[in-house]
Amino acid sequence: MSTEVRQMFSSIATRYDVTNEVLSFGIHRLWRRTAVRLSRAKAGDSVLDCASGTGDLALAFKRKVGATGHVLGTDFCPEMLESAPAKAAKAGLQVDFQVADAMALPFEDNRFDVASIAFGIRNVDDPVKCLKEMGRVVKPGGRVVVLEFGQPEGVFGALFRFYSKTVMPAIGGMLTGNRAAYEYLPRTSAAFPAGERFLSLMDQSGAYAERSAHPLTFGTANVYVGLVR
């Protein structure tokens, strides 16, 4: 799956930001701010952002940790990272970026205070291995934060599923020229474990002393927080 996902993101990289803004109505910004808040990152902390894409979450963390803190954004798709350094520079933020696979992070144990991944863990071949790797590179007592789509229920859930299956592929295809990518993304979101089922994956990794789930926007997304052993 990794090769196919890498090729898919490569094909939509140049239009990813504008498409994301349109399809989410900008609410993804609020979700990222919530993830940063729940991470309890503070000034001077060192943060690793996995599946960083065009760098939005990495930049949000840099604003939190300040000049004395360090943020490193990684992604296994080089094309997704291409625009991130310029975006950081335009915002006046010093953030480092490098190509790296979240399932095999090239960093020593206990290096970071916080590690994060937003809308990326459902695209890795082995989510449990990814969770274990992220926990490995975070210091004991530090936090791993996962922001991922959920499966809302009730009337809102029905509306969300209609939007995901019908509207997103149409608009995403129009804006990027790759309709298949925006059929894949909601399909994987709908199938990926959410809520208690995702917390079970965190337990399976053996990396966390505590873990919690925080639903956002009627369960459209969740922030999962793990306290590293």
Confirm or deny that 3 is annotated as ligand binding.
Answer: no
Confirm or deny that 56 is annotated as ligand binding.
Answer: no
CA dist list (Å): 60 to 36, 115, 116, 138, 216: 7, 13, 11, 19, 18
- Output the CA torsion sign for 189, 191, 197, 202: negative
Residue 38: which H helix or E strand, with range?
helix 27-39
Cβ pair 131, 101 in contact under 8 A: no
Gap between the Cα atoms of 105 and 101, Å rounded: 6
Confirm or deny that 75 is annotated as ligand binding.
Answer: yes
Report which of 165, 176, 162, 157 is spatially closest to residue 221, judged by C-alpha positions: 157
Can you say which residues are annotated as belonging to the binding site for S-adenosyl-L-methionine? 54, 75, 101-102
Can you say which residues are annotated as belonging to the binding site? 54, 75, 101-102
